[in-house]
């Protein structure tokens, strides 16, 4: 895994401005606010069709463009003297397969070489790591380094233990242990990071559809509910991109589908608005636990995030 240390007040990044390449969700807003609190000017580039336009209010400078116009983003960052950027927010991969999706991927000059092997020669696959690493390399070839968003907001990484009042049942512990290994294997293949399990049987595995639709599919297949969702980091996780993230929306999907447990990886999973997640989980009787290796100790099962 990427091992860049968290920023501290004693060792901040030596820069006046930091660029933010933003996708979907609240995560980019949280990162922008964290950057502002640390005294950086925030230079934002939103991915068209993904980013919330409200993000502009959190940035000192902001523009928006299609995902294929990386050259535009590089020029915008350099125009504002940005040497370091970070990625935050989800990219909806299902959008890549809609009709006329290619219109959003017509590359500008800087992006042409990268997209050529994905779209024309098809020498490169479109797995997350392959595609996103190509983006990182393109920025860095133009002198713009890419740092993990958690470098600027380490507090959003979930800590070890049980976030809720309810303890895990023995059945849930077994499902977590079973699902954890499978999720790690799927992550190692760069297929997905989430599996849904009941009675040590896999109901659904995340692929291009994303976590919420994976959970929905599990609910459709298991009408009795009571299943466990396991979401982990990839064994080869590059913390500059695609770090697993959960929020209230994840729990809403679990509740609607009939699940009652969420297991995530401590120290390697972003939790969006932890207080809200904890409150929703308690109210709706969903156990949320953050573990290191899928093994549940008595101490881990008793921790209360409040």
- Of 78-87, 232-241, 275-284, minimum mean pLDDT range: 232-241
Q: What is the 3-state secondary structure (H, E, C) of the chain?
A: CCCCCCCECCECCCCCEEEEEECECCHHHHHHHHHHHCCCEEEEEEECCCCCHHHHHHCCEEEEECCCCHHHHHHHHHHCCCCEEEEECECCHHHHHCCCHHHHCCCCHHHHHHHHHHHHCCCCCCCHHHHHHHHHHHHHHCCCEEECHHHCCHHHECCCEECCCCCCCHHHHHHHHHHHHHHHHHHHCCCCCEEEEECCEEEEECCCCCHHHHHHHHHHHCCCCCCEEEECCCCCCCCCCCCCEECHHHHHHHHHHCCCEEEEECCCCEECCHHHHHHHHHHCCCEEEEECCCCCCCCHHHCCCC
Top-confidence residue, 11 or 181: 181
Confidence of residue 303 (pLDDT cuts 50, 70, 90): low
How distant, in Å, are the alpha carbons of 60, 77, 161 from that of 39? 12, 18, 32
Confidence of residue 91 (pLDDT cuts 50, 70, 90): confident
Confidence of residue 5 (pLDDT cuts 50, 70, 90): very low
Confidence of residue 112 (pLDDT cuts 50, 70, 90): low
pLDDT of residue 93: 62
CB atoms within 10 A of CB 5: 8
pLDDT in tens, 38-75: 999 999 999 888 888 889 999 999 999 877 678 899 99
Largest Cα separation within the chain, whole Å, is 57
CATH 3.50.50.60 fits 17-151, yes or no: no
Average pLDDT, the chain: 86
> Residue 184 pLDDT > 70, yes or no?
yes
> Residue 31 pLDDT > 60, yes or no?
yes
- Highest CATH level, class, for 157-302: alpha beta
Domain range list for the chain: 17-151, 157-302
Q: How far apart are CA 195 and CA 204, in angstroms?
A: 6
pLDDT over 70, % of the chain: 81
Work out the average pLDDT over 121-150: 81
Top-confidence residue, 46 or 115: 46
């Amino acid at each position: 895994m990427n091992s860049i240390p968290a920023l501290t007040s004693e060792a901040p990044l030596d820069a006046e401005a930091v660029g933010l390449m933003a996708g979907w969700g609240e995560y980019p807003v949280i990162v922008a606010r964290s950057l502002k609190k640390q005294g950086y000017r925030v230079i934002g580039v939103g991915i068209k069709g993904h980013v919330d336009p409200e993000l502009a209010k959190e940035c000192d400078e902001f523009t928006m463009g299609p995902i294929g116009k990386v050259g535009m983003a590089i020029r915008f960052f350099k125009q504002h003297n940005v040497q370091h950027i970070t990625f935050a927010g989800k990219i909806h991969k299902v959008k890549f397969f809609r009709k006329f999706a290619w219109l959003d991927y017509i590359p500008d000059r800087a992006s042409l070489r990268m997209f050529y092997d994905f779209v024309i020669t098809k020498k490169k696959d479109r797995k997350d790591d392959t595609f996103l690493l190509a983006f990182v390399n393109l920025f860095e070839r133009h002198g713009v380094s890419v740092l993990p968003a958690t470098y600027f907001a380490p507090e959003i990484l979930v800590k070890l233990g049980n976030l809720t009042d309810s303890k895990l049942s023995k059945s849930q512990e077994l499902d977590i242990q079973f699902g954890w290994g499978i999720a790690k294997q799927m992550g190692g293949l760069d297929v997905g990071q989430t599996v849904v399990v009941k009675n040590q049987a896999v109901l659904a595995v995340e692929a291009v559809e994303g976590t919420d639709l994976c959970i929905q599919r599990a609910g459709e297949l298991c009408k009795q509910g009571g299943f466990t969702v396991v979401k982990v980091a990839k064994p080869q996780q590059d913390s500059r991109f695609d770090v697993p993230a959960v929020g209230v929306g994840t729990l809403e999907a679990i509740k609607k589908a009939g699940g009652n447990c969420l297991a995530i990886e401590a120290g390697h999973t972003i939790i969006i608005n932890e207080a809200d997640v904890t409150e929703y989980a308690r109210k709706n009787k969903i156990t949320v636990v953050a573990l290191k290796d899928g093994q549940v100790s008595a101490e881990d099962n008793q921790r209360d995030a409040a």
